[in-house]
Amino acid sequence: TERTFSILKPDATKRNITGAVNAVIEKAALRIVGQRRIQMSRAQAETFYEIHKERPFFGELVTFMTSGPVVVQVLEGENAVARYREVMGATNPAQAAEGTIRKTFSESVGENTVHGSDSAENAKIEIAQFFEDGDIV
């Protein structure tokens, strides 16, 4: 069993579809073992997406991620990192497979509803940015 870090992005809270997204997550046999709704600060978003800071969309990304509340989550299950990436679908919803979260719910590549860690190593780093050990049960 493995853990991954997930964010339900501001387009999900704004449209009141966090429960619908969680239903897809749970149907995929991923357990939500940590969950908190927060307003990300600019500094938090910039640190979280540091790897993209030279990309042309970085400013837009940080502005979007701080535009409203997000739900940060720890998901647990077999091959959770890869499994969740599969369930999320491609970054660009237009290219996402049928039945994926992004295909079902997302309107654009910028506002694509969910984040999921891209490796087990990054999952650990990202979880530690938002959760204390005692808040994951």
Q: Residues marked as binding for ATP? A: 9, 57, 85, 91, 102, 112
Largest CA distance in the chain: 39
Does 120 bind ligand ATP (CB under 6 A)? Our answer is no
CB-nearer residue toward ligand ATP: 39 or 63: 63
Name residues whose C-beta falls within 8 Å of residue 106's C-beta, 6 or more positions apart in sequence.
Answer: 11, 93, 96, 112, 113
Q: Which of Mg ion, ligand ATP, none is residue 10 near (CB under 5 to 8 Å by kind)?
A: none
H helical segments located in 29-88: 42-48, 58-65, 80-88
Which residue in 57, 97, 99, 129 binds ligand ATP (CB under 6 A)?
57
For the question of residue 52 being annotated catalytic, the response is no
Over the window 83 to 102, marking each residue x when it contacts ligand ATP by CB under 6 A and - when it does not, the resulting string is --------x-----------
Interaction residues for Mg ion, span 103-132 (CB under 5 A): 118
Buried b (16+ CB within 10 A) or exposed e, 51-66: eeeeeeebeebbebbb
Q: Compute the residue count for the chain.
A: 137
Q: Which of 30, 80, 88, 115 is catalytic?
A: 115
List active site positions. 115
